[in-house]
Amino acid sequence: MDEEPERAKRWEGGYERTWEVLKEDESGSLKATVEEILFQSKRKRVIESHEQVRLGMMRHLYLVIDCSRSMEDQDLKPNRLTSSLKLMEAFVDEYFDQNPISQVGIITTKNKRAEKLTDLTGNPKKHTAALKKAVDTVCAGEPSLYNSLSLAIQSLKHMPGHTSREILIVLSSLTTCDPGNIYELIKTLKSLKVRVSVIGLSAEVRVCTVLTRETGGFYHVILDESHFKELLMMHVKPPPASSSSECSLIRMGFPQHVLAALTDQDAKPSFSMSHLEGGSGGPGLSLGGYFCPQCHAKYTELPVECKVCGLTLVSAPHLARSFHHLFPLQAFVESPMQELQGDRFCQACEGELKDKRIFTCPSCHGVFCTECDLFIHDSLHCCPCCIHSHIGP
Amino acid sequence: MASLSEEVLLVLKKVRQRKQDGTLYLMAERIAWGPEGKDRFTVSHLYADIRCQKISPDGKAKVQLQLVLHTGESTTFHFSNESSAIKDRDAAKELLQQLLPKFKKKANKELEEKNRMLQEDPVLFQLYKDLVVSQVISAEEFWANKLGGVNNTDPALFNNKQEVGISGAFLADIRPQTDGCNGLRYNLTADIIESVFRTYPAVKEKYSENVPHNLTEKEFWTCFFQSHYFHRDRINTGTQDIFSECAKQDEKGLKSMVIQGVKNPFVDLLTLDDKTLDEGYGVSTTLPSTSNANRTVKESSNYAIIKRFNHHSAMVLAAGSHFWTPLCITLPAQFFFYIFFETSSTDGNSRDSDFFQPPVKKVKLQEAIEYDDLQRVNRPKTVPLNLKKSDRYAHGPVPLQSQQYTTSQEIINSVNYIRHEMANYKPNLTQVLSSTVASSAIAALSPGGVLMQTGAQQAINQMIPTEVQGELKHLYVAAGELLRHFWSCFPVNTPFLEEKVMKMKSNLERFQMTKLRPFQEKIQRQYLSTNLTGHLEEMFQTAYNKFHAWQTRRMMRKT
């Protein structure tokens, strides 16, 4: 009865009326529909991302964390600041896992000023240590978008053209106190090809919408803590390169790991250059390690930038990890569960298939549940059944 | 001697220094004194070197001016002109008072910064001692990289001198606390004071006029907060406040701003009016007139508050635009009836009306009828990836020379063969190894055996005394710094870099001679058999090889 006039309207109008999808359940809550909408957008991202596009994989990302008075609000437990910092630590670890040749720096803003917490470096330990210490900061005043963006630009503008320059802002306040015209700064950002994304903790703010739209970033506002985590993890994947970024040859060193024993004739104990400062933490004199091919300085961990000659030192597996993004796993075919014949078991987790949807790998036709499909596409980057079938005789 | 192009600001005759008559000259960058009759200056000090000036008290017979330098020395000038001694001295003092601060900041800032860095970072301090004090490299080279910012930070931001905006709520944020006996306590920070001065320049003028001559700072602020100027019902009943003039100035300022109007084609300020319908459902039909006489008491106090709010917002915006000409700031929505001053910057490409000057009517209309969220999302165009041989990414590089290598089919065949052999294995106990040979082989392959040394953690740290390790660490830091300077010269493009590379090579050799060899000899005397400096020597040798390679290439290019 209702369907005929609706169909006619849709044909005439040609647009989706998303409000019709919202349905209340018995208690009047919209939670189920909201979750459904979120899930659909996640699936859309997976499907969209498997064309081959050029990505900016050497990334220089600045995280800007709002430390203003509104971060003391307790709607995220125990308060917004602690919760955000915890999620940031997880983000930093995941980021360096998926982008081993990139760098991160952290800026905080409060009292109408911005200050750098850590500089741009590729060492995740420094960032996690600084984030842990920052839990004790007093939240006061208003944040300043202008000052934090200009502070980030100071370093980003010196980065070479083939890298991707990004800023991710976590903004909980609804105001910003700026000493100048932020629209001018947005134009500067555009000219420097810096991509700014914002995650809002309170509500949508017009300035952030304009900022992200003009620079090509994303703007989202969180619903709750798990949504916050998802939005953060969305930024771990390298973004598509803009058409104007140059490509150039990058010089990198691939040092071999040298193991030596004390009984070898020419065993030379040496210090690693990265352990000279700091003092505590890490072994002192050691025999083996990675020696820079250009200047012969020693390091115990890779990837690192040689302090003596400035060469980027990586190992081949680090680069290979970035290939997951260039050759992404194909999206699995979604189908309703009723069509499945045979045993209703997910082939990855061996659990019973409870959802209404199942996903099938196009090459090996293995069947997976929703959770496993998300895990395979986000973290594993390869279908477990396809790998198994290659190994056997 | 004075260079001819130096600008002389003040000349004072009959000034004695060290019991000699002479003339005092104040130039653009220095102060100088020359004895009578001679052309040369015997005393000359740059303003940057002067720490402070002192004058003799007014009652004394001798009218003197003393300059104290940073180094601790002092020079005294005695003004001996009978008629105008005090005037001369005061003229010199005033001029110095104006000039010294300009030069003071520059010199002090750098020194202070250097000292601070040396104190904060003991590693840097040690490096400084090792390299500069022992004259391996000069101080300028040492500071060249450090002060400029190792991480490309702007030196201006080093001192946290960020420009700060003015929060629209700064007055509301002062939040006075009651101090128990019917009084209020206002906590003023430097930020709040600066905001007040920037927003209300009239108050700043009053401050500079009255403090510290008439009132102390505390009294000034007490007066400010008590005056009706600050409070919301600004009833100008002609009280003898120092701020009553400010109120009158503000009225004039507000009127002129309203007449200037706003650059939004849809807003005409002069036709805006505060029309209230009666309470309830607005049944009353009498139109209230806007003349002051007909206002009720309540309306007029509302009117006063609204005017105050508008004026405050306008002043905040005007103060903010001191650095930039057009401005668009969104103030917090605490004030209900304030006016948006939408003067904006220029950009023809943005769909946002804030980007246009003056806001183009067309874009404003478009904004009002279209809603972005309902439209399709336009993602920026992505660049497609053109990989010519994408299977190269799946395995490593293939060697170019013809090598003996097996195809994957051969490997599969051999695996199958071994599997077959293992399945059909029958022990042949007459042809096995003897037990002694077998047990020695097992011993060699267990942890700690001869063949398993490389896996074990070597406790070298315990074998070498900690002082030796500490010294070695310092050597590493110093050598690392020198080598970093050396490697930063490559590729050698400019003559400056050529000189630098040669200088650095000689520095490296000097370091090896003066620091490395003595250390090596010392540890040899301690009968430590391990070669502790071997790695450092390798690093130096690599650097020398690079230098020689560069030199030979340069020779070949020249010939």
Q: What is the pLDDT of residues B193-229, one digit of tens each?
A: 888 888 888 888 888 877 767 778 888 888 887 775 6
Q: How far apart are CA B8 and CA B31, in angstroms?
A: 9
User: Measuring CA to CA, how many Å separate B202 from each of B196, B197, B216, B224, B234?
Assistant: 10, 8, 18, 12, 16
B165, B393, B535 ranked by CB distance to A178: nearest: B165
Does B358 sit behind a cis peptide bond, omega within 30 degrees of 0 on the bond before it?
yes
Shared domain check, A136 and A88: yes
Contact B324 A268 (CB under 8 A): no
Asked whether the beta carbons of A63 and A105 are under 8 A apart, the reply is yes
Q: How far apart are CA B200 and CA B447, in angstroms?
A: 80
Angle between helices A206-215 and A145-156 (to 10 degrees): 20
Residues of A255-276 as b/e, b for ≥16 C-beta within 10 angstroms? beeeebeeeeeebbbbbbbbbb
Asked whether the beta carbons of A294 and A253 are under 8 A apart, the reply is yes
Domain boundary among A167, A202, A236: A236
Asked whether the beta carbons of A371 and A347 are under 8 A apart, the reply is no
Q: How far apart are CA A119 and CA A374, in angstroms?
A: 33
Does B542 contact A at CB distance below 8 Å?
Answer: yes
Return the half-sphere exposure (C-beta side, CA atoms, 13 A cut-off) of residue B217. 5
Selected residues 420-439 of chain B with any CB under 8 Å from a CB in chain A:
none
Confirm whether A32 is domain-assigned.
no
Shared domain check, A119 and A62: yes
Shared domain check, A204 and A271: no
In this structure, is the dihedral angle defined by the CA atoms of residues A362, A366, A371 and A376, taken in order, positive or negative?
A: negative
Shared domain check, A219 and A85: yes
Confirm whether A322 is domain-assigned.
no
Confidence of residue B157 (pLDDT cuts 50, 70, 90): very low
Shared domain check, A216 and A147: yes
Q: Which residues of chain B have a CB within 8 Å of the CB of A241?
A: 382-383
Dihedral over alpha carbons B496, B501, B506, B511 (to 10 degrees) = 120
Does B453 contact A at CB distance below 8 Å?
Answer: yes
Does B145 contact A at CB distance below 8 Å?
Answer: no
Domain boundary among A203, A236, A269: A236
Shared domain check, A183 and A141: yes
A277, A288, A316 ranked by CB distance to B123: nearest: A277
Least confident of A92-101, B164-173, B374-383: B374-383
Least confident of B150-164, B386-400, B447-461: B150-164
The interface predicted TM-score (ipTM) is: 0.70
Does B315 contact A at CB distance below 8 Å?
Answer: no
Residues for chain B: how many in total? 559
Asked whether the beta carbons of B204 and B197 are under 8 A apart, the reply is yes
Tell me the residue range of the domain where A275 lies. 252-316
* pLDDT tens digits, B310-334: 888 888 887 776 543 333 333 333 3
pLDDT at A366: 86
pLDDT at A125: 87
pLDDT surpasses 80 at B171: no
Q: Are strands A357-360 and A289-291 parallel, antiparallel or unpaired?
A: unpaired
Backbone region of residue A380 per phi and psi (left: phi > 0; alpha: psi in -120 to 50; beta: other values): alpha
Shared domain check, A76 and A213: yes
Shared domain check, A304 and A161: no
User: Going by C-beta distance under 8 Å and a sequence separation of 6 or more, which residues neighbour residue A195?
Assistant: A164, A165, A166, A167, A215, A216, A217, A239, A242
pLDDT at B350: 44
Contact B384 A298 (CB under 8 A): no
Q: Which residues of chain A have a CB within 8 Å of the CB of B489?
A: none
Shared domain check, A155 and A284: no
Least confident of A48-52, B126-130, B230-234, B344-348: B344-348
Shared domain check, A223 and A299: no
Confirm whether A20 is domain-assigned.
no
Q: How far apart are CA B371 and CA B369, in angstroms?
A: 7
User: CA nearest A245 in B: which residue?
Assistant: B383
